[in-house]
Amino acid sequence: MQVYRLKLNNNVTLKRKKIGFRSELIDFIIRKPSLQGAILYDGMLFRNRLLKNYYELIRGLLTNANSGFKDSGGDTRNYRTSGEVARGDARICVGDNTEELDFAGYTLTNLVANTISLAEIIALTSSIEVRLSATAGKTGSIVGAEFYVYNDTGGGFRALQACKLLSVTSGESIIYKLIFNEPWLYNMANWIYGITDDLNAPNEKDMAGVIYTLRSGADANVDKARIVTGDGTDAWSPTDYTLTNPIEHSTTFHYWITDYAVEYVWRTWYIPPSDEQIEEIGLAQKLYDNGGAQHDTLLCRIALGASPLNLIGGNYYIFRLRIVGS
């Protein structure tokens, strides 16, 4: 089997495998650095770990299906990610842990939490940041971000999303950052922003260029995300909102989840009718605006740049988009 491996950018790897005389597997791996967390405290920035709860929230939103999390008491629940997710504002928590939490961690020791005083979203040159601000509720040794969510039966629960060993002092300001790097777009980060602040998020932009207010304070997803391809040659930008001449592909979804890592896979089969060059690929999803209208919305875009996919008409191709986290 012949395998080609390319690093498209710091966060995406492309692998191409010949799996037959006229068939090929084209595998895009969106790696862990594409989603990051950080804490701004006392003028210094500290990277932190995103937890399994956070990745499961992302999975549920993109698949329009309820997904699993552990609440602050350690009980297993299901996010109501096929409906209204947020029950209230996020909180910043301080605890007394002396070791970093595992990927499947769900609570802090002797937790004291303050509801965020401010949530904001900022598009930078190479990323988008959702920033949550609060003061430390106590003097402690670990800091976390906790979302207030509905489970699938309508109960309200706290779900820890990220944490970092960090000594903080009661009453001091903490800014928690949820960072979306290439290939994620503003549209995806804006959805999370709305959930953190339990509001409908303005300035979502659909693939037709229409700016709308996302119904992230209620049921936002119409259906599941699907793979789209296009022939646009522009470099990735955090405010991209469409592909050039987009083609939507029938998409299936599969996933693997452990307490150590997750892998989410979108897959499609494609036989081009003639020779074709693909310059970009992404995930798009139908989302509701606050008036109930539906919008095809691009959530991530991989620009292939100097490595376009040259497809041969009549050949058989399998495209996979994979998210991996740990």
Average pLDDT rounded to a whole number, residues 187-197: 98
pLDDT in tens, 74-85: 999 999 999 999
Average pLDDT rounded to a whole number, residues 63-78: 97
Asked if residue 56 has pLDDT above 60, the reply is: yes
Classify residue 40 as exposed, middle or buried by CB count within 10 Å of its CB (0-12, 13-18, 19+): middle
pLDDT in tens, 88-101: 999 999 999 999 99
Average pLDDT rounded to a whole number, residues 200-210: 98
pLDDT confidence of residue 2: 62
Distance CA 115, CA 101 (A): 22
pLDDT confidence of residue 21: 87
| Cβ(78)–Cβ(152) below 8 Å | yes
Number of residues that make up the chain = 326
Asked if residue 4 has pLDDT above 80, the reply is: no
Cβ–Cβ contacts within 10 Å for residue 80, how many? 21
Spell out a b/e string for 245-277, using b for 16 or more CB atoms within 10 Å of the CB, else e: ebeeeebebebebeeeebbbbbbbebebeeebe
pLDDT confidence of residue 93: 98
Could you tell me the pLDDT band of residue 1, with boundaries at 50, 70 and 90? low
Average pLDDT rounded to a whole number, residues 149-178: 97
What is the rounded average pLDDT for all residues in the chain? 97
Asked if residue 3 has pLDDT above 80, the reply is: no
